[in-house]
Every structure is written in structure tokens, then in C-alpha cells.
Amino acid sequence: MFPKAFVDTVRAGAQWLRPGVVAAGQAPATVRKPRPRAAAGLVPIRSVGPRERHRILSHLLALSQRDRYLRFGYAASDEQVQRYVDGLDFQRDEIFGIYNRRLEIIAMAHLAFAPTGQDGSCAEFGVSVSEHARGRGYGARLFERAVVVARNEGVSMLFIHALSENTAMLRIARNAGATVVRSGSESEAHLELPAPSLDSRVSGIALGQFGEVDFQLKARAHQFWTFLAGLQEVRSGVRDARQRSAP
């Protein structure tokens, strides 16, 4: 489906176009350098569609009660998580995911745009990362991707509502240059975004292609190993049957 030359081109282009998160009017000299661990390599991020609600649900249900509390602002029950997933508006909002080799979502971001008729210059960002996948900079990479998409959609202000104890989320916002205001147990961060540019639009296309190519390659590999596992089971069953029928 994807020739090797195309895959190599997308990977190289996406690496060159990896977005930097800079607040509007911020001078390049003041941009904070990302931590080496978070900056190592380019993370393939794919736009998640409505047919993958089951993957989103599995990811969120696997979060501990503590993690659900930090993600949603309350200790969401399984039923409340289900209602959240059922209510996702894929036509209006953007959902991004990072997948493992089993095509499971291990990190996910929700970029929520304003409903029709409301101020379209603002959007809100939320993220969750599976416990075993933390410490790899996935939250920051998802935030960078959300910034590119928000810019290209004409958003000038990106908001993050988080509990004040959600230090990981607030750190991502601060490192991106966002202003964080604390009000008791809750905090709000807002990041001013520059207007869309040719670079941001090309970057958005390249990063989207990179994430899709990565997913398709993983899907092919997953199908192949699943086929081999099934074939191995058949061979094992035939061998056992022969042994039982042997005199």
C-alpha cells in the first residue's frame, strides 16, 4: 500500500518539519529547549476516527482511578467514561492517538473546538497517557501536534483546564510558554498561538501522513503475526491429533 520510498520520504519530511511550540510574539532566543528524553526521535501521532471508539474506551478504562481523576477532574466511573466516549464529536473535534505494536492506544489527546455559533478562536486540550508509557514525552508531543492543528484551524488561544495537582500537564503547558493561573484546587493555562502559515500547514500534512503510514505498517505487521500465531495453533493441533491416534 505504501512503497518504501514514500515511507522514507514521509519519515524524513516529518522529522524536518517537527513543530516547535512557541507562544505568539515569543523571541526564538527565549524558547526553552526540550528535555533530551522527550526530544529523542519523532513520535508518530495519528488522527483517531469514530470507528475506533473501542480503542479509546479501552485506553481510558485502563487508567487507574487516580489517573481518571487527573484527566477528567473527578474520579470518573466506567459508566461516565463510556458516556464521554459515546459523546465524542469527531466532526467538530480532533482526537489524536499514539499506538503500540498491538494497535492499542497508549496515549491520547482531545482537542475540543468551540461549538458552532460560539467563539471559534479558542480550543481546549486534554491528554491521557497509559501508566507504562510515561516518561517518554508523549504528552508533550501530543500537545505540539494539537498546537499545529489548532493554528491551522484559525485558533488563537489554546486552553488547558487541569487540577493544580496535575503537575505533569501543567509542566507541559509551562514548557510551551503558556501562562498558568492557579485558583485553589484548579488551574488554567492558556497559550497564544500565531496565525497559520505555510510552514504550519505543510507541517500538519507531513505529520498526519507520518502517523498514518506508521499505523498502516503496524497494522500489516499485526495481521502477519496474528496469521502466524493461528497457523502455529493449527499445526500444533494436527501434531497432537497424530500423536493421540498413533498406535
Task: Report CA-CA distances (Å) from 220 to 1, 98, 101, 105.
Answer: 10, 17, 10, 17
Quote the DSSP letter at residue 51: G
3-state secondary structure of 58: helix
Question: Residue type for 128, please?
Answer: S
Kindly report the CA angle at 245 between 243 and 247, in degrees rounded to 5? 90
What nine digits make up the cell of 246? Answer: 498413533
The single residue listed with the C-alpha cell 508533550 is 140
Question: Residue 196 above 90 pLDDT?
Answer: yes
pLDDT at position 135:
92
| Distance in angstroms (rounded) separating the CA atoms of residues 213 and 220 | 11
How many CA atoms lie within 13 Å of 146's alpha carbon, on the beta-carbon side? 32
**232-242 per-position pLDDT tens digit:** 765 665 565 56
pLDDT at position 120:
81
Going by their DSSP bridges, the two strands 157-163 and 122-129 should be labelled as parallel
What is the pTM (predicted TM-score) of this model?
0.75
Assess contact for 151 and 176: CB atoms under 8 A: no
How many other C-beta atoms can be found within 10 angstroms of the C-beta atom of residue 163? 18
Assess contact for 112 and 133: CB atoms under 8 A: no
Assess contact for 2 and 217: CB atoms under 8 A: yes
* Residue among 70, 113, 68 at smallest CA distance from 90: 113
Length of the chain: 247
**75-116 per-position pLDDT tens digit:** 999 999 999 999 999 999 999 999 999 999 999 999 999 888
**168-187 per-position pLDDT tens digit:** 999 999 999 999 999 889 99
Question: Residue 61 above 50 pLDDT?
Answer: yes
